[in-house]
Amino acid sequence: MPTPLTRTLNVNGTDRTVNVDDDGEELLYVLRNDLDQHGPRFGCGVAQCGACTVLVDGQITRSCQTPLRTVRDGASVETLDGLDADGSLHPLQRTFIEEQAAQCAYCVNGIIMGAVGWLRQRKVSGNTSVPSDPEIVAFLSGDAPGFTRNYLCRCGAHTRMIRAISSAAGEVLS
């Protein structure tokens, strides 16, 4: 039987309280339907494609398979919608545009949010070197140490995405 649940989340720097009728409701639907966050997308629904990726307390999270009840009250949730909160594009958003790294753009939310989380985690670990193309490919394919989830793009913009991530990495890691 579904159990109602109330959570306060800090979404892109703003505290937001949500009430859901079912504590098993996935974070993706709460973000899109209740909190007007349109960056995270439903792709596969089984956490395999990455279109729904957000950062929860700085951790790369597949929101389509994350029940709201598993997200702690007061958690910080970052979405693509909040990356340009100060009015300027995040370096990854800017380089994706410069490199024309999206065709249909359905996967772009997940790839950008995943790359933001990955690069931030590199920096926190003390690794501020710009990742090589093979390291970026390993991250996107789920073969990087500690990052076992792949990102799916069917349009074929992979080489431009790699260039965009590489181009933004120096700025993100500085």
Task: Tell me the Cα Rg of the chain.
Answer: 16
pTM here is 0.95
Query: How many CA within 13 A on the CB side of residue 2?
Result: 12
What is the amino acid identity at position 29? Answer: Y
The 5-11 sheet, strands edge to edge = 14-20, 5-11, 76-78, 53-56, 59-62
Using CA atoms, how far residue 149 sits from 37, 62, 157, 167, in Å, is 22, 9, 19, 22
pLDDT on residue 138? 97
- 3-class state of residue 131 by DSSP: coil
- Is residue 36 over pLDDT 90? yes
Q: 43-68 pLDDT, tens per residue? A: 999 999 999 999 999 999 999 999 99
Tokens of 17: 């309280």
Tokens 């300027």 correspond to what residue? 88
Beta bridge partners of 9: 16
- 3-class state of residue 40 by DSSP: coil
Tokens 């996107």 correspond to what residue? 140
- Is residue 154 over pLDDT 90? no
d(CA 70, CA 153): 28
Average per-residue pLDDT for the chain: 95
| Domains, in order of start, for the chain | 5-81 (3.10.20.30), 91-173 (1.10.150.120)
